[in-house]
Structure 1
Amino acid sequence: FIEPHTHPDLCAQMYSWIDISGFSHQTSVEVMDALRKSVSQVPKGEWIFAFGYDPVIFRELTGLTREELDRISPENPIAVMTQSMHTLFVNSLALSEAGIDESSEPARFGGEYVRDETGRLTGKIEESPAMRPFLRFFDDSLETRSYNLSRQYDRYKSVGITTIGSAGLFFRDIETVALYQNETKADRLRIRNAVYLRHMDIDKHNLPAFSSNNVFGVSGVKLWYDGSPYTGTMLLDQPYLNNELTS
């Protein structure tokens, strides 16, 4: 099979986080129980990352609030990523650790620190430009990335996927391209990978001469102008849905 739009770098990292997805849990109660149980097992002060929160599958799940996450994780900064990867929910400790206060704005256009009607941060973080201050706290060493990437390629192979299109890189972009290339040369990643770099990454780097072959190559540039229907950032003529999730 061919998967033309996927994110091996994101999947490799986030599948190493606490799993609260609809693929592993049958009800919203199971999701929240799994989150609370995992938090209780983490030493005080350590960052907690969870992935797969999915109000699309579990309609009774609502957007997590800063106050709710403060109650769930009173002694640890916590960041909960939705399955769509377009929204992150964080608690007060995470905001503080990331250096985000009530006057902060994302350093780059295209993200938002969501606020309530009084202007107070709700803990909802929309789109990658606003998420970056929080995502720098997980283990991003080369050894860990190589291990996680190998596991992600195994997931592709386990369901018969032999070719992927990497639609933009989000963690250490140029280093990740080099990692893909080196792992492919070493014959550890036996899947064809066509990489499309984001336009801002092309602009800010002098790209090294990455060689291309029938297994790996930088194939083009990813361009986009809006976000996702699942977090309310996609530009549409008519609303996809009118509810808390998409507003």
Structure 2
Amino acid sequence: MLNKELLLRKLNKLSADQVVINANVITMNPKQPQAEAIAVKNGKIIGVGSNAEINQFCSLQTEILDLKGKTLLPGFIESHTHMSVYASTLSLVDLFYLNTHSIEDIQTRIKQCAENTPEGTWIVGWGYDCARLAEKRHPNRWDLDKVAPNHPVFVHCFSAGHFGTANSLALEMAGITRDTPSPVGGEIIHDANGEPTGNLAKVPATAMVMKKIPPRTLADLVDGLRKCNEIYLKAGVTSIQEACLGGLDPNELIAYNQVISDNELSVRVTAMTYYELFEMLLSKGADLSELGVCSGCGDDRLKIGPVKIIAGGSLPTQTAALFEPYLGDPSNKGNLLFPQEKLNEVIFKYHKAGFQIAVHAIGDREIESVIEAFESALTRLPRANHRHRIEHCKLATEDQLDRIAKLGLNVTFYPAHTYYFGDQYRDIYLGPQRAARLNPMKSALNRGITFGLHGDSPLTPVSPLGLVCTSVVRETMSGDTQGPEQAISLTEALKAVTINGAYLVFEENIKGSIEIGKLADFVVLSEDPYKIAPRDIKDIQVDLTIIGGEIVYQRF
């Protein structure tokens, strides 16, 4: 017969490590939409129900978290973000568009940096938006030369990689002269006299200068990821889909491994790997089947997700490819980064190798090209449950959405751009009709297309609740309502930052809803989003972020 002490030990092994009680639990599980309490053991959910039901999981060793009626949801999933880029921007000259209002502001900050930096050392800034500058133009090389003639300088607009400006010394170091041809898919912009202005459009052109900038040290990248961890946790993000691993620096994977092994990165990471990183390995004689890397390999802290391909530009830099010209510039429809045959070839290569594929496409002409490439690949080699994705997909037409649904493609939409840039899209870049069609979520929902939501941080602040809010109310910063017919319900918006986000990378069985057996990743909110005005959802505070049952962020 067991003695009392031994019996207690055995019972304790079966009991919960933590329980949450007196909570307004929104589970995102349609079979059990709401609950009052949750039991957690070894970082996973072992019970969901009423206080009385969960009480049976308790022992003397169980930690009890009494939420006193607060609202708890599954942790938010950011389905397209650039944490590694964000980590880099923290050490750059801060030109973020919400705080930079003129070229003089840019010059002042570059000058301050130059005064404290040895001559000949690179100065890199990031984050301005030319439409928000008083001059309504990008800075040029002469603007930068005035304040830092003896430093190579490169400033990114907020749409990092899609547009940037180099000063004269940086152009010289990159070998760019008036006679240098634009690279395929990019543009070296010249003035009326044929001189390069320092403005470089699209990734192939900006890369000509960026590859001359000394790479970040591993220590710098690790330190940046530590700081980013706190930023994402404060917003209630428990999982991210890193949108371009290796796009700037092959050391990014090493840095992620280091901060995770040192327990300094709580946020779970599924990484989209930039296809050119694989292409580099293939050029050295490797074979895709021999790399030992595939979509889904890894663990619940860090795993490899889709292969990432960039097929176009961005709208604010007027480089995304459109069928109709940009507003006020009848000569500019943007350009595709790939000839159609080349894109078909690249997508088929990774489709055949068994990878999930995620392709950046914003403009309707880019989306058309990407759909054609997926149609070609899936016709040549049908594959069930591929879950290939189109990233951003902002200006998809009704016909294109029909084809996306037919092909079984998934999407992650970008509502943060409607909030932060919708007024500019309406007045400067697209006009009211096209601006109203940005992020056609309702049309996608009506076709059964699974989609997530993202903020593409650091391009916009990390705020899943902001994404939810804009998806429901479709309001810009000025309060203008754009495309109300594309608004979705609060429940659908919350699904898009929880269970749908998990589905996009084959993780719906381990996260995204509060169900027995799933990871105990939760967010606790200051208010119930169902009980306040929809436009106020963006102002809800995150009180607690919990990952694997452990509190990793606490507001007070």
Q: TM-score range by the shorter chain?
A: 0.7 to 0.9
Which of 160, 184, 188 matches 1:113? 188
Structure 2 vs 1, CA of residues 33 and 203 (structure 1 numbering), >3 Å: closer, same or farther? closer
Which of 96, 99, 103 matches 2:179? 103
The Cα shift of 1:75 comes to 1.9
CA contact (8 A) 1:112 1:130 kept: yes
Q: Which moved more, 1:127-136 or 1:61-70?
A: 127-136
SS of match in other structure, 2:265: coil
Q: Does 1:242 align with 2:317?
A: no
The Cα shift of 1:235 comes to 0.8
CA contact (8 A) 1:20 1:35 kept: no
Which of 162, 166, 176 matches 1:90? 166
Q: Does 1:18 align with 2:93?
A: yes
Alpha-carbon distance between aligned partners in 2 of 1:144 and 1:138, rounded to the nearest angstrom: 12
CA contact (8 A) 1:183 1:189 kept: yes
Give the structure 2 partner of residue 171 of structure 1. 248
The Cα shift of 1:190 comes to 0.9
C-alpha RMSD of the superposition:
2.7
Moved segments of 4+, more than 6 Å: 243-247
- TM-score (norm. length: structure 2): 0.40
Give the structure 1 partner of residue 266 of structure 2. 190
Q: Does 1:223 align with 2:315?
A: no
Which of 220, 236, 261 matches 1:160? 236
Alpha-carbon distance between aligned partners in 1 of 2:164 and 2:119, rounded to the nearest angstrom: 21
Alpha-carbon distance between aligned partners in 2 of 1:204 and 1:142, rounded to the nearest angstrom: 21
Which of 99, 124, 128 matches 2:199? 124
Structure 2 vs 1, CA of residues 22 and 233 (structure 1 numbering), >3 Å: closer, same or farther? closer
The Cα shift of 1:139 comes to 4.9
Which of 76, 94, 116 matches 1:41? 116
Structure 2 vs 1, CA of residues 8 and 203 (structure 1 numbering), >3 Å: closer, same or farther? same
Q: Which moved more, 1:232-241 or 1:27-36?
A: 27-36
Identity over aligned pairs, percent: 27
SS of match in other structure, 2:179: coil
Q: Does 1:72 align with 2:147?
A: yes
Structure 2 vs 1, CA of residues 131 and 41 (structure 1 numbering), >3 Å: closer, same or farther? same
Which residues in structure 2 correspond to 1:127-146 (within 5 Å)? 127-135=202-210, 136-146=212-222
Q: Deviation per CA, 1:47-79: give whole Å up to 9, x if none.
A: 211111212433544111122221122222111
The Cα shift of 1:217 comes to 0.8
In structure 1, the gaps of 5 or more residues are: none
SS of match in other structure, 1:189: coil
Relative contact order: is structure 1 or structure 2 higher (C-alpha 8 Å, sep ≥ 6)?
A: 1
CA contact (8 A) 1:21 1:31 kept: no
SS of match in other structure, 2:159: coil
SS of match in other structure, 2:117: coil
Q: Does 1:52 align with 2:127?
A: yes
In structure 2, the gaps of 5 or more residues are: 1-75, 333-427, 431-556
The Cα shift of 1:30 comes to 4.1
Structure 2 vs 1, CA of residues 97 and 226 (structure 1 numbering), >3 Å: closer, same or farther? same
Structure 2 vs 1, CA of residues 234 and 90 (structure 1 numbering), >3 Å: closer, same or farther? same
Structure 2 vs 1, CA of residues 59 and 238 (structure 1 numbering), >3 Å: closer, same or farther? farther
CA contact (8 A) 2:177 2:195 kept: no
The Cα shift of 1:95 comes to 0.8
The Cα shift of 1:237 comes to 2.0
- TM-score (norm. length: structure 1): 0.85
SS of match in other structure, 1:167: strand
SS of match in other structure, 2:237: coil
Alpha-carbon distance between aligned partners in 2 of 1:137 and 1:246, rounded to the nearest angstrom: 31
Give the structure 1 partner of residue 276 of structure 2. 200
* Higher percent of residues as helix: 2
